Structure 1
Amino acid sequence: MSAELAVVYAALILQDDQIEITSDKLQTLVKAAGIEVEPVWFSLYAKALAGQDLKALLLNVGAPGAGGAAAATGASGAAASTEAAVEEAVEEKEESDDDMGFGLFD
């Protein structure tokens, strides 16, 4: 198991038990698992996750952009803007192929 993965699992354990994620607590859990990790990883992860809701971060992994702005737009508005963005990308792709003098089936 990699050092980073061990620290991530320790952070998930702490979050699941609703315990504050600190470098000391991460180090204690990883050490109890019998995994050797350089001390710098504990402080890096503790600083990165300080004040963060790890559960919310995991649930919003694939969410586009700022979560609040996307949620405020609403489902229909988001669908319309996504469709417009896809159409624009397709048009740009077609134009760029024509500019080069060849297309997909040439």
Structure 2
Amino acid sequence: MASVDLATSYAALILADDGIEITADKILALTEAASVEVEPIWASLLAKALEGKDVKELLSNIGSGGGGAPAAAASAAGGAAAAAAEAPKEEEKKKEEEKEESDEDMGFGLFD
């Protein structure tokens, strides 16, 4: 199954790289040319999931999930923004501690 997933993904990337519309038929044609047997439903599902999306842009935005905005705001606004940026980190630590404590409340722990 892993080779099927890779084959369909690579086929979609090849189509996107060439600027060709990603369709189930074209995915199947590429996987068939690569001698990988793919059930039409998988090609259809992938084509439907990528319909109307710019695959190249999706790939270029993988690591930019908003991490740069707080850093830019902190450097632009000075120390006040940096102190404000620390507050969410503290809340995150509290949530993690509460989560760890809740495991103990259930009567089992990691090393029990």
TM-score under structure 1 normalisation?
Answer: 0.70
Query: Shift in Å at residue 73 of structure 1?
Result: 7.4
1:58 is matched with: 59
From 88, 91, 101, give the equivalent of 2:91: 88
Counterpart CA distance in 1 for 2:42 and 2:68 is: 34
Counterpart CA distance in 1 for 2:64 and 2:5 is: 24
1:28 is matched with: 29
Structure possessing the higher relative contact order (Cα contacts under 8 Å, 6 or more residues apart): 1
Report matched runs for 1:1-106 at 5 Å.
2-64=3-65, 75-76=72-73, 80=82, 82-93=85-96, 96=98
Deviation digits for residues 19-56 of structure 1 (CA, Å, limit 9, x no counterpart) = 00001111100000011111111100000001101111
Contact 2:15–2:22 under 8 Å retained in 1: yes
Counterpart CA distance in 2 for 1:16 and 1:98 is: 49
Counterpart CA distance in 1 for 2:17 and 2:43 is: 18
Deviation digits for residues 34-91 of structure 1 (CA, Å, limit 9, x no counterpart) = 1111111110000000110111111222333xx6xx88878216x8565331122224
Q: How many pairs are equivalent?
A: 95
The residue identity in structure 1 corresponding to 2:26 is K
The residue identity in structure 1 corresponding to 2:88 is A
Contact 2:70–2:85 under 8 Å retained in 1: no
- Provide the secondary structure at the position in 2 that maps to 1:21: coil
Kindly, what percent of the aligned residue pairs are identical? 51
Seen in structure 2, the aligned counterparts of structure 1 residues 30 and 50 have a Cα distance that, compared at 3 Å, is same
TM-score under structure 2 normalisation?
Answer: 0.66
